[in-house]
Chains A and B, each alone.
Chain A
Amino acid sequence: EAGVTQFPSHSVIEKGQTVTLRCDPISGHDNLYWYRRVMGKEIKFLLHFVKESKQDESGMPNNRFLAERTGGTYSTLKVQPAELEDSGVYFCASSQDLTGYGYTFGSGTRLTVV
């Protein structure tokens, strides 16, 4: 079984540019989550999809962040325009059952905004 796939693994962009991160969950997993870890801080929840619907986006920092999951398969997280404080590692996770237990995390995208 393929795991959760994220790409790119690394991205370096200039302040003000746009970046799109992609996450491919494990096939058949309805639940998809985005998390972020900023340097020196804990991993923080951003949002949760159930299939193509946003179940909870209470952790999204501001309206520069836009997540989509068209068709309930892969998801994208767009940052536009990027700011320096957006630098960090963005993790995606998926789970099969509706309880959300037993996440499988992707390896993350390290975003550096310069």
Chain B
Amino acid sequence: QKEVEQNSGPLSVPEGAIASLNCTYSDRGSQSFFWYRQYSGKSPELIMSIYSNGDKEDGRFTAQLNKASQYVSLLIRDSQPSDSATYLCAVNIKSSTSGGGADGLTFGKGTHLIIQP
């Protein structure tokens, strides 16, 4: 069973601090990792993707990947109230019938993040 685990929260962080979101995955063969942000009642929005070990920075967001530990994290610096949302970790799975091309994603349940003004 391929799984992605996240702490559901809520995770409460004061405005201006660093929010740290964590995710573990069970399929050691996973190759691609994504963080989505979802506001209540809205669609998931891709904010970061990472494919190799180490850190990847984009503005206030940093994704970290450790394939040996099967662990991926998202750091949000200078947290703003507008960052309050559910953050979904997603992992690329390989289709047993796909000869290549696009694949489906396995999602975690998400972490509810609250930034306190």
A interface with B by C-beta (< 8 Å):
4, 31, 33, 35, 41-45, 48, 50, 55-56, 58-59, 91, 95, 97-108
Contacts and interface: CB of A to CB of B under 8 A. Distances in A.
B97 A58 contact: yes
Contacts of B45: 105
> B interface, how many residues as a size bin?
20 to 34
A37 B79 CA distance: 28
A91 B43 contact: yes
Interface in B40-88: 42-46, 49, 88
Given A100-B92, A107-B42, A48 B107 contact: no
Interface string B86-103: 001010110111101111
B105 interface: yes
A70 to B, nearest CB: 20
Contacts of A44: 107
A59 B104 contact: yes
B104 A33 contact: yes
Contact of B101 (A4, A41, A55): A55
Contacts of A35: 104-105, 107
B104 A43 contact: no
